[in-house]
Structure 1
Amino acid sequence: MNLRAAAAALALALTTLHTTPVQAADDLPERVLVGYLHASFANGSGYVKMSDVPAEWDVINLAFGEPTSVTSGDIRFERCPAAECPGLESDADFAAAIRAKQAQGKKVLISIGGQNGQVQLTTAAARDTFVESVSAIIDRYGLDGLDIDFEGHSLHLDPGDTDLDAPTTPVVVNLIAALKSLKSRYGDGFVLTMAPETFFVQLGHQFYGPGPNGAADPRSASYLPVIHAVRDDLTLLHVQHYNSGPIMGLDGQYHTMGGHDFHVAMADMVLAGFPIMGDAGNVFPPLRQDQVAIGLPASVNAGNGFTTVAEVQKAFGCLATGDGCGTYRPRGVYPGLRGLMAWSINWDRHNAYEFSRSHRAYLDGLT
């Protein structure tokens, strides 16, 4: 049986046993909007003060903390230079605005990585430095937790590292240990989120690391063992449903970003679980519904794969209610699907707040 046939057969075998929502352990709203705030650069969208972040956003991710070198593990967060960000508030006002947002029930996190922030924890020393340096940022501003936005070459899987439950690649093992250490240090209130690209998650349906003959990209699906290892501590996974190539869904078909079917197919994979490399005996287990959000560009300027408000809400409605689905039919109905993530708050303002205002009203209207 070829890979596509095997995937289709397994899709038919998957049931809707995981469609009962589980109460979230965090104190965030039932439906959340997550937004990235360009706190260390402007990126052409204009600077937004922390105090000016609209109330629609429930989780505010400060972008980005970056390492002093790729393998140092030493993460630094430098606020945007005033020359690049006119209107930049003082550090004291920035910290005070964070406290004010938290008093309103918002969560403010430091996001590590981004497009330019390659982080490779190749050694135990780098792991420990990562924990201490991230803790220093969290403590300095009184933040609620951490977002992992590793992209590029931060993660990979070594040849022979095929056991989802027991990874052996140092950059994966050390990241898992670092995240568990941070969770232990800050306790149950620590918010942990992740924003991987589809290449690092859903691509695992076809490829996992270098593969059995070593011919595949070793970065393929390399987030999967990290997500799996910290799933009990993970608040939200919001895979980036943008800047992506076509990805095979549970129906054995390829789906292309920009329309509702892509979002339904990609979200369905982490909500229902999926076979790694098409092997029905090696499955990435489903996440809880309250742990899953959909990552999107806030405007056409923010990234490839922009999806209109109507198409996003069609996808969300299909997943959460089972109504209005297109060609792709999800394996179950997921009423506990948590919400939406956007890159970014700045680009949303640049686009007259279409994303936050439209989707906040939509999410609030769901029962």
Structure 2
Amino acid sequence: MDRTPLGSLVVALAAVLVLGGLTTTARVAGAELARNGGFEAGLDGWSCTAGSGAVVPAPVHGGAKALQATPAGGDNARCTQTVTVRPDSAYTLSGWVRGSYVHLGASGTGTTDVSTWTQSAPDWQRLTTTFRTGPATRTVTVHVHGWYGTGAYHADDLSLTGPGGDPVQVPAAPTGLTAGTAGSTTVPLSWTPAAGATSYHVYRGTARALTVTGTTATVTGLVPATAHTFQVTAVNEAGESPKSAAVTATTAPGPADPPPGQGLPAHALVGYLHASFANGSGYTRMADVPDTWDVINLAFGEPTSVTSGDIRFSLCPATECPGVESAADFKAAIKAKQAAGKKVLISIGGQNGQVQLATPAARDTFVASVSRIIDEYGLDGLDIDFEGHSLSLAAGDTDFRNPTTPVIVHLVSALKTLKAKYGPGFVLTMAPETFFVQLGHQYYGSGPWGGQDPRAGAYLPVIHALRDDLTLLHVQDYNSGPIMGLDGRYHSMGTADFHIAMTDMLLTGFPVAGDASRFFPALRPEQVAIGLPASPHAGNGHTAPAEVHQALDCLTRRVNCGSYRTHGTWPALRGLMTWSVNWDRFGGWEFSKNFDAYRWS
């Protein structure tokens, strides 16, 4: 959240290399291994994402046909073929391409994956690269792809030469699937390895729940006190095995008190109160916050240094905030709000409050200092509003299910510790910007492609790890560049379409960085609120009341949707969040009055 009236965010974009594959047969040493590299047999042997590829008679480099593939939305028109190879052997990959930002490469080499590309090829241009396979490598995946938002590219006469290998067989179905002790929303699973498998798909009922490379997995986000049936398949380059024998596990009952949502009303209004600082919006006393506000986030608890983990909070000095109440009156007003059913949280971070829990010591200091603030003021929970470089993924940390970046691992550990300390009634909320969440739909961290801002999507592993502990996620749908929705189109802030598209992604789930095998699961609608600036002074992306009502109509009743079509209807959507109570007061309480005026059903 910005302390200044306006904020901005620059979004950097970079290329993404993703893997895929098909089977092939053995070849003699030194022979051509790519099947149908000239596309004379159509797309036989090739698989193109999202139906993006087609065979055309012109332009061609050789023969009578060539590949034409068209990137669209979140798809980079990636066409792949998996080829059997020999371990510890040298190979040459080449091909002819036309278009802008066309990439040719090989992955799964067992040594260093390779890629070569051209920024601009108005006429046919040859790309070539070489690699050596690892000591246990028996298949590699060759790929050609374009770039998001660019025009169609062409490829022809793709070639992979070197010694051939033995054909890959589809693995047998896994055996020994067992379920461990179930929690209220989780079930741990384990099974026996299947020969030749490179990964495993875990199914809950008929739907794929997740994909893992090991032989254990924990399925999350389940309904308490319910029987759930699971199966597993083994996967490699040749395909997917039949499903294993099924196992059924019943989740434990959930906590009876408080109910889901930690006692929040069905539709809640969340606002940040400038309690520790002053800006142009003026100071608002806790006792003067209208009853419309259901959750009041105290902005901000601040670190003594970026890496210390030590968080402090104090009321705004009277010299900066005329009319500020005493600490005793402030605490009494908090108790009065709580007696009226409201929740009061300490918010950590904001635009200027960078927090990096890079060590176990910083994590422990964070837990201790936040606990002191909660206990001193008798608060209901914690809001995480980390911005800037507080969360940034280390290079190569691209699996949001199993993050290794210390600042993320220690933050998750700290928040789980606080949740366990204060019990099920502890309210935990987060307010990331779209850059840190929805942008992961296109670009996730620095990744293997290099150059991308490592903050992009950096909240995804935190949200995933805490999805069973998280009360509310209210992404800031403002101070943002255009973001691509699940419809493959870019949406700009300040419109109903932007809020519909961004919220639909959270409630539907989405592939991360274009990789369907890394599917970010949907949040429950009662965990989601839409973040908005309270007035044009509060941040870029102010949305007119009519547009806010249109977004709520579409998401909760699937009417008045405009050009965007949601993937579901969510009448239990929790509500709205705004920056801030102070700015709403400055604007004549327009935002909160608009919330009160909306008919949720």
Tell me which residue corresponds to 1:54.
Answer: 290
Name the SS of the counterpart of 1:48 in structure 2.
coil
Tell me which residue corresponds to 1:275.
Answer: 511
**CA 1:8–1:318 in structure 2 vs 1: closer, same or farther (change >3 Å)?**
farther
Residue 241 in structure 1 maps to residue 480 in structure 2 = no
In structure 2, what is the Cα distance between the partners aligned to 1:52 and 1:4?
A: 50
Computed over aligned residues only, the root mean square deviation of the Cα atoms, in angstroms, reads 1.7
In structure 1, the gaps of 5 or more residues are 10-14, 16-20
Q: Tell me how far 1:6 sits from its aligned partner.
A: 5.8
Name the SS of the counterpart of 2:323 in structure 1.
coil
Q: Tell me how far 1:8 sits from its aligned partner.
A: 10
Cα distance per residue 1:313-366 (max 9 Å; x no partner):
10011000000001111111111111000000000000010100121231xx31
Tell me which residue corresponds to 1:132.
Answer: 368
Higher alpha-carbon Rg: 2
Residue 366 in structure 1 maps to residue 434 in structure 2 = no
Tell me which residue corresponds to 2:495.
Answer: 259
Tell me which residue corresponds to 1:196.
Answer: 432
The one of the two structures with greater contact order (alpha-carbon pairs below 8 A, sep at least 6) is: 1
Tell me which residue corresponds to 2:409.
Answer: 173
In structure 2, the gaps of 5 or more residues are 1-48, 50-69, 78-206, 208-222, 225-258
Report if aligned partners of 1:265, 1:328 keep a CA contact under 8 Å in 2: yes
Report if aligned partners of 2:272, 2:579 keep a CA contact under 8 Å in 1: yes
For residues 306-325 of structure 1, the aligned pairs below 5 Å read 306-325=542-561
Tell me which residue corresponds to 1:182.
Answer: 418
Question: Which stretch shows the higher mean deviation, 203-212 or 51-60?
Answer: 203-212
**CA 1:3–1:331 in structure 2 vs 1: closer, same or farther (change >3 Å)?**
farther
Residue 225 in structure 1 maps to residue 461 in structure 2 = yes
- Read off the aligned partner of 2:502 and give its amino acid letter: M
Tell me which residue corresponds to 1:12.
Answer: none
Tell me which residue corresponds to 2:307.
Answer: 71
Structure whose residues are more often helix by fraction = 1
In structure 2, what is the Cα distance between the partners aligned to 1:331 and 1:97?
A: 42
In structure 1, what is the Cα distance between the partners aligned to 2:400 and 2:354?
A: 23
Question: What is the aligned-residue identity percentage?
Answer: 69
Tell me which residue corresponds to 2:157.
Answer: none
Residue 4 of structure 1, aligned match among 72, 78, 83: 72
Tell me which residue corresponds to 1:349.
Answer: 585
- Read off the aligned partner of 1:366 and give its amino acid letter: W
Residue 37 of structure 1, aligned match among 273, 276, 281: 273
Report if aligned partners of 1:7, 1:251 keep a CA contact under 8 Å in 2: no
Tell me which residue corresponds to 1:18.
Answer: none
TM (norm. structure 1) is: 0.94
Report if aligned partners of 2:400, 2:464 keep a CA contact under 8 Å in 1: yes
Cα distance per residue 1:168-191 (max 9 Å; x no partner):
000000000000000000000000
Residue 451 of structure 2, aligned match among 212, 215, 219: 215
Name the SS of the counterpart of 1:4 in structure 2.
coil
TM (norm. structure 2) is: 0.58
Tell me which residue corresponds to 2:527.
Answer: 291
Tell me which residue corresponds to 2:318.
Answer: 82
Report if aligned partners of 1:249, 1:266 keep a CA contact under 8 Å in 2: yes
Structure whose residues are more often strand by fraction = 2
Report if aligned partners of 2:344, 2:380 keep a CA contact under 8 Å in 1: yes
Cα distance per residue 1:44-91 (max 9 Å; x no partner):
101000000000000000000010000000000121010111001000
In structure 2, what is the Cα distance between the partners aligned to 1:123 and 1:168?
A: 13
Tell me which residue corresponds to 2:28.
Answer: none
Report if aligned partners of 2:445, 2:454 keep a CA contact under 8 Å in 1: yes
Cα distance per residue 1:230-274 (max 9 Å; x no partner):
010000000000000000110111110011000000000110000
Cα distance per residue 1:85-137 (max 9 Å; x no partner):
10010000000000000000000000000000000000000000000000000
In structure 1, what is the Cα distance between the partners aligned to 2:314 and 2:262?
A: 29
Cα distance per residue 1:274-311 (max 9 Å; x no partner):
00001111111000000000000000000000001110
Name the SS of the counterpart of 1:239 in structure 2.
coil
**CA 1:5–1:59 in structure 2 vs 1: closer, same or farther (change >3 Å)?**
closer
In structure 2, what is the Cα distance between the partners aligned to 1:126 and 1:353?
A: 40
Name the SS of the counterpart of 1:320 in structure 2.
helix
In structure 1, what is the Cα distance between the partners aligned to 2:74 and 2:369?
A: 45
In structure 2, what is the Cα distance between the partners aligned to 1:96 and 1:152?
A: 34
Report if aligned partners of 2:479, 2:541 keep a CA contact under 8 Å in 1: yes
In structure 2, what is the Cα distance between the partners aligned to 1:187 and 1:8?
A: 45
